[in-house]
Structure 1
Amino acid sequence: MLEKQNAECVGNYVVTPLIKSTNAGVAASVSIRRGMYDRIFRFAPHFACDAQAVQYALAQGRSMVLQGQLG
């Protein structure tokens, strides 16, 4: 996985998009960290480019944090 410099703080969490090139395209994941612990979520869609994957992962991570879906 390639970690981008696009981490952002959302409340008490740090949301970091993770991408990986595959045969099917670019796969997106997101790390949501609070303190020393983080959770990694992988997403099913594949994307044509890195930028699309990063945008999708950040949007999904923000949404999970803001909607309280982590706990």
Structure 2
Amino acid sequence: MNNYNAITIGKFLITPLTRVLDDGHIACSVSVRSGSGSATTDRVLRLTRLFKCKAAAAQYALAEGMRWLDSRQQHTAAA
């Protein structure tokens, strides 16, 4: 599994993750982490889209992590 450059948005750390499958395609996930120490929360979203390029997979995962965070923050603001 390869980690690419993580980005910080507010109190969240978004880290794209990729791995090569047996058939040569690239699968991706994204980690959205907040907190520290025993109060750390880490959500890992497994994404279903497959890629032929690791960089494209990482970019997609990062974008999906930011989109997930944005939708979560909009939901919290509406409540």
TM-score interval for Structure 1 and Structure 2 normalised by the shorter chain: 0.7 to 0.9
* Identity between Structure 1 and Structure 2 (%): 39
Q: Within 5 Å, give how 1:1-71 maps onto structure 2.
A: 1-4=1-4, 6-22=5-21, 23=23, 25-35=25-35, 36-68=40-72
CA distance in 1 between counterparts of 2:49 and 2:41 reads 26
Cα distance in 1 between the residues matched to 2:41 and 2:8: 15
**Highest Rg: 1 or 2?**
2
Structure with the largest fraction of strand: 1
Greater helix proportion:
2
Q: Report the alpha carbon displacement of residue 66 of structure 1 after superposing the two structures with TM.
A: 1.3
CA contact (8 A) 1:31 1:38 kept: yes
Aligned length: 70
Distance 1:31 1:52 in 2: 17
Uncovered stretches (5+) of structure 1, i.e. residues with no partner? none
What is the alpha-carbon root mean square deviation over aligned residues? 1.8
Q: TM-score, normalised by structure 1?
A: 0.88
3-state SS of 2:66 partner: helix
In the alignment, the residues of structure 2 paired with residue 24 and residue 32 of structure 1 have an alpha-carbon distance, to the nearest angstrom, of 26
Aligned structure 1 segments of 4 or more residues deviating by more than 4 angstroms:
none
